[in-house]
């Protein structure tokens, strides 16, 4: 590390908001973009150290604030195989940022302690000098914050020839694309291949989609649906555009020149950052349970005939969430939401069907575990449907995909996880992959389908583009209309509200956040209230990890009762 340069660049980047307290939250650091410089600088430093610590594996940095408003931004670190940052390093990230926020001396003291404590060798660089890939979403503050990260990496000058740590600016891309690129880069490295670019993302996912088209005889331009994608005016729109144009160019069954009208993208003004997530996007649609700006109600919705089905979906600002919906007339009550819970149940039903067809379940010593991971926000009827109708295993974890991902990997060979808000993916164990690969030669279509899905689904993290393709494929393969999908079960009416309290840290939970242990006595009062609303009622309270508020969730047998229960619990909390 070049100390002279470090001090100079610290002074340039870390003095504008001295004393600010940072915390690595549910999804990294996330604040108003004006206060982020210090933490961008320290995150840049930390990612190089993490890379050297992990024998020079490539680490990712994503600059994004997802579904938050345009004036916010944030940053998170991505591990070599595309996972979220190791939890024990989250507090290091926080401490390093706060030491820099205090003073240069505190920063250097903590940095030295960290380097020593982790045994990171900055002198002998024979193992490598650190390698980082950085991506960002379409926010206006992105380029400025990127400069700060580049400054930080530049401090790692390893000898007099000014050899510095390697950093690849991957430009504007979706969060899951960055995760995937980091993963592919590390795989390529172990194969001693040269650097790869984001082209690998498009190659791999279009290949998988086209393999499915070929296997089942459907084609991108002859989907049974007219699909409208609301891209939240974020980066997902133009990445999806690239994907669509590739799919149409590569599709072998091109008809009429191949230009389709059955997939369209709206809210695709990603070059106007002030429109980002504004009255559109997955979070808006899920929270308000209504159509976003720019999507018209499907008044000409027809239940019969090919190509007349209309389906919409919304991405969030960095395209790691997707939810689907349709509305059959102008009446708001005909709005039907197909959220993360529904995506889970659809995939669960699909894989159950495939496994039956594949014959893999016949050999009892295969002992294949398939299950769904949810959080407390999953609709009670979705949980009931999975356990009682599909008769599959469900586990519940705290909020935040890092928890769901971990559980899915630990517990299942095919682990399906989605937060109700549409963030999730499917993870396949090495065991199921090798079982599938070893038996595939017999031309079994179900086995081939599972194999293709291990490539169509982004293994690293929830991915709106890949999940969307996965859902479309399942609907085509199982021959389901959006209404069929919706009619599998009915949601319990529910309400989610935010309550601003003086100190949200006093709200401590247990049992996957479904019960409060602090403040003392509050859970008893909530239980009492819930029991007075009848059998189907449920409510829980937890502090948000991304906003300064407490969230109250309530479910009951009618909309009025769910709303009243949420309000009453909200009063107990405030
Ligand atoms: P918090 O603010 O901790 O509730 C929210 C979402 C999470 C997750 C994170 C990260 C809800 C109720 N909570 O977390 O599911 O997506 O943001 O983006 O939707
Ligand atoms: Zn997101």
Provide the pLDDT confidence category of residue 267 given band limits of 50, 70 and 90.
very high
The better pLDDT of the pair 475, 161 is held by 475
Handedness of CA 121, 125, 126, 127 (dihedral sign): positive
| pLDDT score of 305 more than 70 | no
Given this model, what pLDDT does residue 228 score?
Answer: 93
| pLDDT score of 310 more than 90 | no
Q: Is 419 in the pocket of ligand 1 (CB under 6 A)?
A: yes
Helical segments of 217-256, H only? 235-250
Given this model, what pLDDT does residue 13 score?
Answer: 97
Tell the residue nearest (CA) to atom 18 of ligand 1.
27
Given this model, what pLDDT does residue 292 score?
Answer: 96
Give the SS3 label for residue 236.
helix
Report whether 546 belongs to an annotated binding site.
yes
Q: Which among 73, 90, 420, 421 is the best mutation to test ligand 1's pocket, defined by most ligand atoms within 8 Å of the CB? A: 421
pLDDT tens track for 518-574 = 999 999 999 999 999 999 999 999 999 888 899 999 999 999 999 999 999 999 999
CATH of 201-338, one of 2.40.30, 3.30.70, 3.40.120, 3.30.2010: 3.40.120
Total residues belonging to the chain:
574
Structure tokens at 252: 């072998």
Q: What's the longest Cα–Cα distance across the chain?
A: 74
| pLDDT score of 306 more than 50 | no
CATH 3.30.310.50 fits 494-573, yes or no: yes
| pLDDT score of 186 more than 70 | yes
Q: Give the containing element (helix H, strand E) for 281.
A: none
Given this model, what pLDDT does residue 123 score?
Answer: 82
Q: Which atom of ligand 1 is nearest to the CA of 27?
A: 10
Comparing CA positions, the residue from 57, 325, 97, 297 lying closest to residue 183 is 57
| pLDDT score of 369 more than 70 | yes
Q: Is 268 in the pocket of ligand 1 (CB under 6 A)?
A: no
pLDDT tens track for 92-126 = 999 999 999 999 999 999 999 999 999 998 888 77
Q: Is 421 in the pocket of ligand 1 (CB under 6 A)?
A: yes
Give the SS3 label for residue 42.
helix
Least confident range from 92-101, 159-168, 317-326, 418-427: namely: 159-168
Tell the residue nearest (CA) to atom 11 of ligand 1.
421
Q: Which residues have CB less than 5 Å away from ligand 2 (the ion)?
A: 66, 316, 318, 320
Given this model, what pLDDT does residue 571 score?
Answer: 97
Q: How many CB atoms lie within 10 A of CB 254?
A: 15
ipTM of the complex: 0.98
Least confident range from 233-242, 295-304, 373-382: namely: 295-304
Percent over 90 (pLDDT), the chain: 79
Q: Which atom of ligand 1 is nearest to the CA of 25?
A: 3
Report whether 460 belongs to an annotated binding site.
no
Tell the residue nearest (CA) to atom 3 of ligand 1.
545
Given this model, what pLDDT does residue 261 score?
Answer: 57
Burial of 488 (0-12, 13-18, 19+ CB in 10 A): middle
pLDDT tens track for 416-446 = 999 999 999 999 999 999 999 988 877 899 9
Sheet (strand 322-327) strand order: 263-266, 225-230, 309-315, 322-327, 335-338
Q: Is 397 in the pocket of ligand 1 (CB under 6 A)?
A: no
Given this model, what pLDDT does residue 545 score?
Answer: 84
Tell the residue nearest (CA) to atom 19 of ligand 1.
421
Mean of per-residue pLDDT scores for the chain: 92
Report the C-alpha gap between 457 and 45 in whole angstroms: 32
Three state DSSP letters for 145-208: HHHHHHHHHHCCECCCCCCECEEEEEEECCHHHHHHHHHHHHHHHHCCCCCCCCHHHHHHHHHH
Q: Is 15 in the pocket of ligand 1 (CB under 6 A)?
A: no
Given this model, what pLDDT does residue 160 score?
Answer: 67
Strands (E), 357-510: 370-374, 393-396, 414-418, 424-428, 494-499, 508-510
| pLDDT score of 56 more than 50 | yes
Report the C-alpha gap between 426 and 372 in whole angstroms: 9
Compute the distance from residue 317 Cα to the ligand 2 centre, in Å: 6
Given this model, what pLDDT does residue 252 score?
Answer: 45
Compute the distance from residue 244 Cα to the ligand 2 centre, in Å: 21
SS3 content of the chain, % helix, strand, coil (to 5): 45, 20, 35
Structure tokens at 445: 């279509």
What lies within 8 Å, CB to CB, of 333 at 6+ separation is none
Give the number of the ligand closest to the Cα of residue 544.
1
pLDDT tens track for 219-259 = 777 677 789 999 999 999 999 999 988 887 765 443 344 44
For 147-151, what is the mean pLDDT?
Answer: 96
Q: Is 407 in the pocket of ligand 1 (CB under 6 A)?
A: no
- Second CATH level (architecture) for the domain 3-195: 3-Layer(aba) Sandwich (3.40)
Comparing CA positions, the residue from 353, 13, 251 lying closest to residue 152 is 13
Q: What is the pTM of this model?
A: 0.94
Comparing CA positions, the residue from 111, 190, 193 lying closest to residue 152 is 111
Compute the distance from residue 67 Cα to the ligand 2 centre, in Å: 6
∠ CA 36-37-39, nearest 5°, is: 70
Given this model, what pLDDT does residue 45 score?
Answer: 97
Give the number of the ligand closest to the Cα of residue 464.
2
Give the number of the ligand closest to the Cα of residue 322.
2
Q: Give the containing element (helix H, strand E) for 412.
A: none
Provide the pLDDT confidence category of residue 502 given band limits of 50, 70 and 90.
very high
Comparing CA positions, the residue from 101, 112, 52, 50 lying closest to residue 77 is 50
Judge whether 490 counts as a catalytic residue.
no
What lies within 8 Å, CB to CB, of 126 at 6+ separation is none
Please state, in angstroms and as integers, the Cα–Cα distance from residue 293 to each residue in 280, 281, 333, following that order.
6, 9, 17
Report whether 462 belongs to an annotated binding site.
no
Q: Do domains 201-338 and 340-486 have the same CATH topology?
A: yes
Domain positions in the chain: 3-195, 201-338, 340-486, 494-573
| pLDDT score of 279 more than 90 | yes
pLDDT tens track for 507-534 = 999 999 999 999 999 999 999 999 999 9
What lies within 8 Å, CB to CB, of 129 at 6+ separation is 52, 56, 156, 158, 163, 164, 165, 166
CATH of 340-486, one of 3.40.720.10, 3.40.50.2300, 3.40.120.10, 3.20.20.150: 3.40.120.10
Given this model, what pLDDT does residue 79 score?
Answer: 97
Given this model, what pLDDT does residue 143 score?
Answer: 98
């Amino acid at each position: 590390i070049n100390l002279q340069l470090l001090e100079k660049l610290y002074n340039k980047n870390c003095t504008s908001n001295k004393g600010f307290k940072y915390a690595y939250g549910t999804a990294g650091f996330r604040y108003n973009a004006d206060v982020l410089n210090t933490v961008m600088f320290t995150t840049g430093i930390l990612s190089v150290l993490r890379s050297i610590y992990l024998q020079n594996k490539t680490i990712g940095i994503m600059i994004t604030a997802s579904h938050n408003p345009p004036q916010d931004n944030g940053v998170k670190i991505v591990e070599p195989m595309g996972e979220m940052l190791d939890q024990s390093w989250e507090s290091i990230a926080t401490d390093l940022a706060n030491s820099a926020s205090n003073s240069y001396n505190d920063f250097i003291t903590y940095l030295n302690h960290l380097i020593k404590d982790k045994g990171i060798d900055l002198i002998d660089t024979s193992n490598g000098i650190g390698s980082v890939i950085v991506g960002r979403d379409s926010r206006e503050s992105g380029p400025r914050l990127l400069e700060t990260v580049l400054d930080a990496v530049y401090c790692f000058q390893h000898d007099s020839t000014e050899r510095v740590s390697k950093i690849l600016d991957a430009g504007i891309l979706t969060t899951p694309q960055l995760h995937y690129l980091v993963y592919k880069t590390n795989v390529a490295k172990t194969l001693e291949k040269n650097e790869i670019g984001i082209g690998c993302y498009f190659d791999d996912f279009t290949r998988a989609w086209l393999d499915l088209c070929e296997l089942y005889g459907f084609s991108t331009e002859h989907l049974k649906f007219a699909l409208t994608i609301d891209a939240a005016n974020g980066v997902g729109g133009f990445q999806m555009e690239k994907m669509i144009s590739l799919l149409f160019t590569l599709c072998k069954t091109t008809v009429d020149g191949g230009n389709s009208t059955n997939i369209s993208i709206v809210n695709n003004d990603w070059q106007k950052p002030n429109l980002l997530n504004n009255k559109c996007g997955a979070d808006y649609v899920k929270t308000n349970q209504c159509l976003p700006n720019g999507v018209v109600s499907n008044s000409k919705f027809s239940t019969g005939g090919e190509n007349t089905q209309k389906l919409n979906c919304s991405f969030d600002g960095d395209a790691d969430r997707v939810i689907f919906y349709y509305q059959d007339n102008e009446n708001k009550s005909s709005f039907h939401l197909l959220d993360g819970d529904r995506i889970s149940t659809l995939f669960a039903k699909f894989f159950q069907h495939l496994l039956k067809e594949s014959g893999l379940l016949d050999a009892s010593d295969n002992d294949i575990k398939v299950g769904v991971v949810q959080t407390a926000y999953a609709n009670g009827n979705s949980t009931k449907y999975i356990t009682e109708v599909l008769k599959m295993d469900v586990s519940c974890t705290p909020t935040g995909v890092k928890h769901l991902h971990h559980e899915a990997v630990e517990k299942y060979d095919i682990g399906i996880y989605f937060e109700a808000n549409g963030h999730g993916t499917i993870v396949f164990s090495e065991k199921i992959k090798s079982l599938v690969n070893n038996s595939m030669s017999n031309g079994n279509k179900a086995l081939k389908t599972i194999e293709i899905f291990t490539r169509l689904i982004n293994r690293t993290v929830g991915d709106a583009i890949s999940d969307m393709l996965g859902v479309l494929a399942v609907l085509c393969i199982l021959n389901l209309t959006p209404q069929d999908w919706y009619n599998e079960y009915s949601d319990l009416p529910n309400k989610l509200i935010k309550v601003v309290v003086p100190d949200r840290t006093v709200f401590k939970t247990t049992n996957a956040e479904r019960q409060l242990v602090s403040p003392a006595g509050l859970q008893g009062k909530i239980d009492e209230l819930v029991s007075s609303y009848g059998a189907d009622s449920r409510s829980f309270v937890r502090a948000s990890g991304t906003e300064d508020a407490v969230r109250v969730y309530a479910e009951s047998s009618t909309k009025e009762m769910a709303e009243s229960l949420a309000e009453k619990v909200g009063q107990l909390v405030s």
